[in-house]
A = this chain, B = another copy of it.
Amino acid sequence: MEKTDGFIALNEKTLVDYIKATPTLCSILGNKFEELQVKEVGDGNLNFVYIVTGDSGSLVIKQALPYIRCIGESWPMTKERAYFEALALKEHGRLCPNHVPEVYHFDRPMSLIGMRYVEPPHIILRKGLIAGVEYPLLADHMSEYMARTLFFTSLLYRSTAEHRQSVAEYCGNLELCRLTEQVVFSDPYKESQYNRWTSPYLDRDAEAVRQDNLLKLEVAELKSMFCERAQALIHGDLHTGSIMVACDSTQVIDPEFAVYGPMGFDIGAFLGNLFLAFFAQDGHSDQGNDRKTYKEWILRAIEDTWNLFQKKFTALWDEHKDGSGEAYLSAVYNSSELLLLVQQRYMKNLFHDSLGFGAAKMIRRIVGVAHVEDFESIHDDSKRAYCEHRALEFARLLLKERRGFQSINQVVLAIRDLNLDKVS
């Protein structure tokens, strides 16, 4: 057990003592400890996660260690990320309580969060997508989550003074931002010891990414936007592994990469990972299930997500147009015609940003350090490479040509064109 500045890395045993000494957590468990079960389930890349269940209650304890778990102590990473995760969980939870689990307790020296256990039948969305499960409310829930968290932390709702104060606070989460900058926007476009791909099948594809000047020109703009533009409090890592789903419930977890950044980074992460799920389906099809219907469902979920997001986001804007938001003062944007004009411009830019970031997120999952289970679970290398190759081709097209798309429907049509032999 290592101790520094009040930090102790807990294990399944010492965790129980910690809980017993913490009244808030005791009370969640009904102050009964006889039948307490503790299970470490951190299958993510970064942290230790314990599920604690008792007769009278349950909770999750998440502790950040001062390095990246999946790589080890050789890649140090500030445990202060837990502070920003707790902060964002609370802020986003306040704005969208239906889709963010409650934080019961935060201990900054221990980098430890005690929060609601998102219990079964919830599973990680990515696993559901691999299994081919349809979630009829997913697009509705995720568009709600994104519309509310992004709108209410932007200058469409906030005063610029509040905004600058919040921006300053989250600037402290710089180490996690640096990780994103490196693994999303830089490493895939150069030689890096961390990059990997399905070799030898994708050797030429990876090389092509590194040689594609127009692609690198576009990704530079996205990287600058990520580093410079404080548009809203974003989750920062909104892929399908950060979302827990049941048939009637969607819960967003793990916002340790939270920062003020471009909204499109979150929207793109979610859409991009749905695209990845789509392209992986051919690797999961078998004689019993050709996945054709499921692929159609994913495409619909993609369309619905954006269209519902757009609808909900602009509805919030309309509702609060005379409010405290300082980007578009009602005294200036004082006619419905002008407001419409402004909203159309805003949503168009946001759409193109989202497509760009979504494409960048896809590329990095195929030729960068961290891959996705959607593809990794396809054990036949050549089959996996085939799926990855198509996803990569689509992502490169999307990143370079994103400004040519006028609607999400056109994007989906472009996917169909690429997939004619498989979908039709």
Q: Are A332 and B178 in contact (CB under 8 A)?
A: no
Q: Are A160 and B186 in contact (CB under 8 A)?
A: no
Query: How far is it, in angstroms, between the C-alpha of A345 and the C-alpha of B164 when the chains are bound?
Result: 29
**A395 to B247 Cα, complex, angstroms:** 56
Asked if A227 contacts B160 (CB within 8 A), the reply is: yes
The yes or no answer to A304 lying at the interface (CB within 8 A) is no
Which residues in B have their C-beta under 8 angstroms from that of A174?
A: 160-161, 164-165
B230 and A228 contact, CB distance less than 8 A? yes
* CB <8 Å contact, A161 and B186: no
Tell me if A315 counts as interface (CB < 8 A to partner B): no
A338 pairs with B224, CB closer than 8 A: no
Please name the residue on chain B nearest to A341 by beta carbon. Answer: B217
A side interface size, CB within 8 A: 46
Interfacial chain B residues near A94, Cβ < 8 Å: none
A171 at interface (Cβ–Cβ under 8 A)?
yes
A333 touching B160, Cβ below 8 Å? no
Complex formed: what's the CA distance from A317 to B227 in Å?
A: 18
A167 on interface, CB distance cutoff 8 Å: yes
Tell me whether chain A's interface is mostly helix, strand or loop, or mixed.
Answer: helix
Residues of chain B with a CB closer than 8 A to A270's CB: none
Contact assessment for A160 and B189 in the assembled complex, using a CB-CB cutoff below 8 Å: no
Stretch of A6-14, A53-61, A288-296, A323-331 at the chain-chain interface: A323-331
A177 touches B191 (CB 8 A): no
A337 part of interface (Cβ distance < 8 Å):
yes
Q: Choose among B155, B178, B224 the residue that contacts A327 (Cβ–Cβ < 8 A).
A: B224
- Check A171 against B181 for contact (C-beta < 8 Å): no
What is the bound-complex CA distance between A192 and B337, given in angstroms? 22
B residues within 8 A CB of A163? 227
| A36 close to B (CB within 8 Å) | no
Whether A72 is near chain B, meaning CB under 8 Å from some CB there, is: no
CB neighbours of A328 from chain B (8 A): 220
Contact of A161 with B190 in the complex, beta carbons under 8 Å:
no
Contact of A332 with B228 at beta-carbon distance under 8 Å, contacts A161-B178, A217-B342, A327-B220 already known: no
Bound complex: CA A228 to CA B335 (Å): 25
A422 within 8 A of B: no
Q: Are B189 and A332 in contact (CB under 8 A)?
A: yes
Interface flags, A160-198, vs B, CB<8A=1, else 0:
110111011101101101100100001001110000000
Q: Say yes or no: A337-B213 contact (C-beta < 8 A), given A181-B326, A221-B345, A228-B230.
A: yes
Contacts of A169 in B (CB 8 A): 168
B216 pairs with A338, CB closer than 8 A:
yes
Nearest B-chain residue to A221, judged by Cβ: B345
CA distance in complex: A229, B155 (Å)? 12
Q: How far is the CA of A71 from the CA of B387 in the complex (A)?
A: 67
A334 at the B interface (CB under 8 A) = yes
Say yes or no: A168 contacts B171, CB within 8 Å: yes
Q: How far is the CA of A177 from the CA of B326 in the complex (A)?
A: 12
Given known contacts A217-B341, A328-B220, A337-B213, A177 and B190 CB-to-CB distance under 8 angstroms: no
How near does chain B come to A209, taking the closest CB pair, in angstroms?
A: 11
Cα A178 to Cα B338 in complex, Å, equals 24
User: Counting CB contacts under 8 A, is A231 at the interface?
Assistant: yes
Does A223 lie at the interface of the complex (its beta carbon under 8 Å from any beta carbon of B)? yes
Closest B residue, CB atoms, query A327: B224
A residues contacting B by CB (< 8 A) are 155, 160-161, 163-165, 167-169, 171-172, 174-175, 177-178, 181, 186, 189-191, 213, 216-217, 220-221, 223-224, 227-231, 326-329, 331-335, 337-338, 341-342, 345
A-B residue pairs in contact (CB < 8 Å), sample of 6? A160-B227, A161-B175, A164-B171, A167-B167, A220-B333, A229-B229
